[in-house]
Amino acid sequence: MPRPSRLPQPSSTASLILKRTRTRPVLGIILGSGFGPVASAVEVEQEFAYRDLPGFPIGGAPGHAGRLVLGRLGGIPVAVLCGRAHYYEGFEPAEVTFATRVLAALGVRDLLVTNAAGGIHPRFKVGDFMILTDHINLMGMNPLRGPVPEGCARFVDMTRTYDEGLRSELEAAARSVRLTLRKGVYLAVSGPCFETPAEIRAFRTLGADAVGMSTVPEVIVARQCGLRIVGLSCITNAAAGLGGKAQVVSSEEVLEVAKKREGLATRLVMAFAARLAT
């Protein structure tokens, strides 16, 4: 028999939040590396530290604040997860995705997931933004393994995971801030080491355009919860073996590039939220 989860019901954490906020969010946003400053564009109505929210994991990745912010962005009510827990930190899949279930229980209909990723597509440049058209899960785990939450499906359809309508809105938002968006397939690995050049060649053969260590668990759970999903990567580095002879892939480079692009990332996410308002 599977071990019973130590986690609370996401709905009980959601009710606690809803009791302390007037915001009824329609859009959930998960801010990954390089997207943190998006939170400063929110007209904040209420915020919580993750440590005050039962079941929320306290991650330690740099640039991941560990705050849930509720308020308005681009004129619509939003719930923003500033920072995520990663599988590579040692969290269980259910812990990594707990906050996503809470967003669904708060009543959000749409979810924007963001991350930093290594570029695999030969035309991608460092600093590009990529809208996710699909993903490949090579994390070696699935967050839906185990007991089925009440009202959820056991076997979840993953065709058209990334919503066409939301993708068009994100593309239109990008045009409005004069940004050319790339499109592609995000491949998720567990990390925490970066990939070998041979792995990256293999991933290219598999159809991947970018590689990262997050997002896919949350997306799978969001899909089980029936949310409409849109995904955005900041390409912070050439994936291993694609950056020239002297290349070293480092988290310093990832964070440095993400930092340079955070202003544009913020304008893009604001413009996207504003489009959902109309």
Q: Which is nearer to ligand HPA, 211 or 227 (by Cβ)?
A: 211
**Residue 122: CB minimum distance to ligand HPA, A:** 15
To the nearest whole angstrom, how small is the minimum distance from the Cβ of residue 45 to ligand HPA?
A: 32
Looking at residues 103 to 162 of the shown chain, list those that interact with ligand HPA (rule: CB under 6 A).
Answer: 116-118
When asked if residue 249 is in the footprint of ligand HPA (CB under 6 A), the reply is yes
# of chain residues touching ligand HPA (CB under 6 A): 13
Instruction: Kindly state the smallest distance separating residue 119's Cβ from ligand HPA, in Å.
Output: 8
Does the footprint of ligand HPA cover residue 186 (CB under 6 A)? no
Establish if 208 lies at the interface with ligand HPA (CB under 6 A): no
Q: How far is the CB of 238 from ligand HPA (least distance, A)?
A: 8
Q: Residues near 139 by Cβ (< 8 Å), separated by ≥ 6?
A: 87, 188, 189, 190, 216, 217
Interface residues with ligand HPA (CB under 6 A)? 116-118, 194-195, 211-213, 236-237, 239, 249, 254
